């Protein structure tokens, strides 16, 4: 298949995308697979992975990578930032309008800057309660 030819949207891929759009937890492929399997009992994890890569290449979803942790997926294409829990890895959305500042885009170093990523991190309410329970 030619690289830029638009791929046929298979029913499996449509189901995976619809499920990801329903979830606002930025699931890993494994978490999404568990949900999709309820609708498509015979689907494999490998198929979910492959379809996620196709959806990402087609610009329909974002893939979020955090170092060595499992990649997470986001079907929300509106500009927004993320906050990640350092305890359990949960990821939530923060509207881009809540950004405390807009960084000046550097023009040095010969780059044409196309964007930037802002990532907040902290403890989610569940982990926060857990810490309070242990220390309190």
Of the candidate residues 88, 105, 113, 132, the single one contacting Zn ion (CB under 5 A): 88
71 binds Zn ion (CB under 5 A): no
Of the candidate residues 23, 49, 87, 118, the single one contacting Zn ion (CB under 5 A): 87
Using CA atoms, how far apart are residues 47 and 105, in angstroms rounded to an integer? 39
74 binds Zn ion (CB under 5 A): yes
Using CA atoms, how far apart are residues 64 and 56, in angstroms rounded to an integer? 10
Using CA atoms, how far apart are residues 73 and 33, in angstroms rounded to an integer? 12
Using CA atoms, how far apart are residues 111 and 125, in angstroms rounded to an integer? 39
* Residue 82 CB, nearest approach to Zn ion (Å): 5
Of the candidate residues 47, 93, 94, 118, the single one contacting Zn ion (CB under 5 A): 93
Indicate the DSSP class of residue 70. P
* Residue 6 CB, nearest approach to Zn ion (Å): 25
Closer Cβ to Zn ion, 68 or 109, answer by number: 68
Cβ-Cβ contacts under 8 Å for 90 (sequence gap 6 or more): 25, 84, 124, 126
94 binds Zn ion (CB under 5 A): no
Indicate the DSSP class of residue 103. P
Of the candidate residues 29, 32, 36, 124, the single one contacting Zn ion (CB under 5 A): 124
Query: Under DSSP, is residue 95 helix (H, G, I), strand (E, B) or coil?
Result: strand
32 binds Zn ion (CB under 5 A): no
Closer Cβ to Zn ion, 54 or 87, answer by number: 87
Q: Which residues bind Zn ion (CB under 5 A)?
A: 74, 76, 85, 87-88, 90, 93, 124, 127
């Amino acid at each position: 298949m030619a690289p830029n030819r638009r791929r046929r949207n298979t029913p499996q891929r449509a189901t995976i995308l619809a499920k990801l759009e329903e979830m606002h937890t930025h699931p890993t492929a494994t978490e999404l697979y568990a949900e999709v399997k309820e609708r498509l009992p015979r689907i494999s994890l490998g198929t979910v992975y492959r379809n996620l890569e196709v959806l990402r290449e087609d610009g329909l979803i974002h893939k979020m990578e955090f170092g060595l942790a499992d990649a997470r997926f986001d079907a929300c294409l509106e500009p927004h930032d993320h906050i990640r829990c350092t305890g359990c890895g949960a990821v939530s959305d923060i509207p881009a309008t809540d950004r405390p500042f807009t960084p000046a885009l550097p023009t040095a170093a010969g780059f044409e800057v196309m964007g930037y990523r802002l990532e907040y991190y902290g403890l989610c309410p569940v982990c926060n309660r857990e810490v309070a329970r242990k220390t309190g």
